[in-house]
Amino acid sequence: MAANNSLADFLPRKVKLIIVQILVMIFLCINLVLIMTFFKRECFHTSARYILFAVTLLSDSLLLFMSDILLILTIFRLTIQVWLCIIISVVLLLYATVTPVTLTAMTLERYVAICMPLRHGELCSTRSTMHCILIIHGLSSWPKLHQERIKSQKKGLRTVILHGFQLLLCLIQLWTPFIEAAVLQVNFSLFENVRYFNYIMFYFAPRCLSPLIYGLRDEVFFHALKNCASFG
């Protein structure tokens, strides 16, 4: 009877694991193609929006990969060395903060481009962007240590809204430990389901929006992506 219950508990976990593996593989492949496209085109290396986009892709890819490893270890109840666990935890805590802070910087960059176009080149230069990336990592580690113009503005505003939604999901993620702790006091099985939902909705989903916002919606990056895909 105990063996049957154990098997019944394991099967739903196995299904959850398979779903996550499929999602992780899909978005890691998409992120890899987008990262390769960024590094192959020199025109992206001098644009603040694309540099920050690449930082987000690298950060999100690392988070997806390492959190997936932890999920596999949890599902199969495997253990690792303490020092390795500490390293993984520190990296995850750092880059879990890097993403929302970088998204804030990307939203500000779009705001400057729309509302202060004449100062955009000065405020969002390559040098300023590199300084911004260093500041982002510093802030993230500190707690742990005309018609066409109108059309362009509307598209820019939609991008800002998407960034805002993405940032909202990342910020909700900060509240999930408190919700999970409260649920754990009630029912452990419910706690596992809530934690899985939070992982997919507030940890995984925000990091899958970056390819949509820039990789597919941005015309310049989309054309470069098509050329890269066709080996052009």
pLDDT truncated to tens, each residue of the chain (232 aa)?
Answer: 444 455 445 557 788 888 889 989 988 998 898 888 888 888 888 888 888 888 888 988 998 899 899 888 888 888 888 888 888 888 888 888 887 788 778 878 877 877 777 777 777 788 788 878 888 777 676 655 543 344 444 555 566 666 667 677 777 777 888 888 888 888 888 888 888 888 888 878 777 776 766 666 667 777 777 777 665 5
Domains in the chain: boundaries = 2-229
pLDDT of residue 25: 92
Distance, in Å, from the CA atom of 4 to the CA atom of 25, rounded to the nearest integer, reads 31
Token readout for 130 is 């590199």
Q: DSSP secondary-structure letter at 145?
A: -
Cα-Cα-Cα-Cα dihedral sign, residues 178, 183, 186, 192: negative
Non-local (6+) Cβ contacts of 64 within 8 A are 24, 27, 28, 31, 204, 207
> From residue 57, how far is each of 27, 33, 51, 98, 102 by CA, in Å?
10, 10, 10, 11, 11
Cα-Cα-Cα-Cα dihedral sign, residues 190, 94, 62, 47: positive
Distance, in Å, from the CA atom of 129 to the CA atom of 92, rounded to the nearest integer, reads 23
Q: Residue 175, Cβ neighbours under 10 Å: how many?
A: 11
CATH superfamily of this structure's domain 2-229 = Rhodopsin 7-helix transmembrane proteins (1.20.1070.10)
Distance, in Å, from the CA atom of 199 to the CA atom of 131, rounded to the nearest integer, reads 31
Inter-residue contact 105 to 167 (CB < 8 Å): no
Query: Torsion angle, CA of 171/173/177/180, rounded to 10 degrees?
Result: 130
pLDDT of residue 159: 62
